[in-house]
Structure 1
């Protein structure tokens, strides 16, 4: 089974999509998919579907959704390009793929792919490359991790409490990888290449200090000192208005360095981790 959730939901068994179009069964599949090969408790599925107000028939209705998913999986096992001949002991059934276990259900990938797992693997390699000072490998590997995303997680799925939390977790992981990939590019002298990207990111994450620090550095190194100072003032105004905060000491030092036109600007990743909240996008983490 191959699973994609970093964008539109796509779950394939033997190359055949088993994603239903009905919203509720699609929610069930999405939650099982993001936790593939792990048991998802019935209570979590019920909370996802009905947000703390389940009907009396919740468990029976959930079983109906599971049966609908198994029908799609069974059809895929029969029609898929990787179907097995005959009915020997090695032939998988729908119940072998979507397994009922005490207290919950498990979606078994049988060695298939998961874009979440691949993202985590590549991001981990990228972070280790950053720690080792191999910025070219870090940029390349983190870029490959980010290329797995085609949109927001579960972009075409109606999300309840559980999937909303998972989407936020995944989006935060994406932002951290993006932050470090840009840092690697700055270390490689690619300040002009990242300017357009940082322009968009600082507009979206208006209180994310590390992204603004990277933007200021890229602008300064591109000979646009005035714009770098304006970026600092814009961040300071936003932090004060929205959060009642002043920029961190590191940001103030960076602003002073640019103001003094110092030739060497410190790395944007030198700051300690600082949690801030974007008014529209949940909690963000500055640094890594």
Structure 2
């Protein structure tokens, strides 16, 4: 079984599409999936489906949606996680417990869970100085995204929060991957990506600073300074604030030609032609980052 939430909702069982079409059944599935391998209380499901206006027969109606979902999630023991102590025997993907339900999945069967694991691993690798490994791991994580999370689900309050949470992890992973590539001297190949990100998210100071650094390392100092001025004007006009301290320090360092801004020692500056294999992945990451800011 495979369930994808990072983009259009999709469910496949033994290679066959089993995606529910009924709106509320899809929301039940999404909520159970984001809490995979944990019991989701009935009250949370009711809040997601009806907020403060549940129908008089809410319990029966919820049971009907769960029954419909069971018909889609055919048993596939290879995709089912081991049950907790006291749970039902293996072989049942959607299990009923007192006061709630649990969707049992292995990590590789859910794209959002796999994404979070890879993002955490990539961050840890970067913290340990394993820059090449971090770049590869974070690219693998970002490649799981096929569009904004839960994009074709009409979310209730709980799924709205989850979509925002996943979006923040996406942006964090994207920033970390760009950081890793900058440390590896890949500033030339990053320029197109960063120009697009900075243009679509002009108040995102992290993307602005990375664009400035990539331009400076590419020998385009005046353009790096112009990027700072555009960012500063946008922040003042739209948010009424000056650039953060880090952005201002970077601006002063570029003005001074600080050697600390150069590519880390021992790393050669790679040209785009030397990294053509990453171009399509970068383009996809930019596309979905831009979709979020639209």
Does the alignment reach a TM-score above 0.5? Answer: yes
- Residue aligning to 2:165: 169
Asked if the contact 1:18–1:69 (Cα under 8 Å) also holds between the matched residues in 2, the reply is: no
- Residue aligning to 1:224: 220
Query: Which protein has the bigger helix share?
Result: 2
- Residue aligning to 1:191: 187
Asked if the contact 1:15–1:81 (Cα under 8 Å) also holds between the matched residues in 2, the reply is: no
Q: How many residue pairs were aligned?
A: 257
SS at match of 1:233: helix
SS at match of 1:155: coil
How far apart are residue 117 of structure 1 and its match? 2.1
- Residue aligning to 1:273: none
Tell me: CA distance 1:240–1:51, structure 2 relative to 1, closer, same or farther (3 Å).
farther
Tell me: CA distance 1:67–1:253, structure 2 relative to 1, closer, same or farther (3 Å).
same
- Residue aligning to 2:205: 209
Within 2, Cα distance between the matches of 1:111 and 1:196?
Answer: 34
Tell me: CA distance 1:15–1:198, structure 2 relative to 1, closer, same or farther (3 Å).
same
Asked if the contact 1:19–1:29 (Cα under 8 Å) also holds between the matched residues in 2, the reply is: no
Unaligned runs of 5+ in 2: 79-88, 264-290
TM-score by length of 1: 0.81
Tell me: CA distance 1:265–1:128, structure 2 relative to 1, closer, same or farther (3 Å).
same
How far apart are residue 81 of structure 1 and its match? 11
Q: 1:68-123: CA deviations, max 9, x gaps?
A: 111223xx44xx898xxxxxxx894xxx2221212211112267622122212222
Within 1, Cα distance between the matches of 2:48 and 2:122?
Answer: 33
Q: 1:99-156: CA deviations, max 9, x gaps?
A: 1212211112267622122212222221121111121111111111111111111122
- Residue aligning to 1:61: 61
Within 2, Cα distance between the matches of 1:34 and 1:15?
Answer: 22
State yes or no: 1:106 paired with 2:102. yes
Within 2, Cα distance between the matches of 1:206 and 1:11?
Answer: 36
Within 1, Cα distance between the matches of 2:221 and 2:262?
Answer: 15
Q: 1:231-288: CA deviations, max 9, x gaps?
A: 2122212222232221122211111122233343289xxxxxxxxxxxx969xxxxxx
Q: 1:34-85: CA deviations, max 9, x gaps?
A: 2111111212211211233222233322111111111223xx44xx898xxx
Alignment of 1:89-128 (within 5 A): 92=91, 96-109=92-105, 113-128=109-124
Structure 1 runs (4+) greater than 6 angstroms displaced: none
TM-score by length of 2: 0.79
Q: 1:207-227: CA deviations, max 9, x gaps?
A: 221211101001111122222
Unaligned runs of 5+ in 1: 83-89, 268-279, 283-288
- Residue aligning to 1:234: 230
- Residue aligning to 1:9: 9
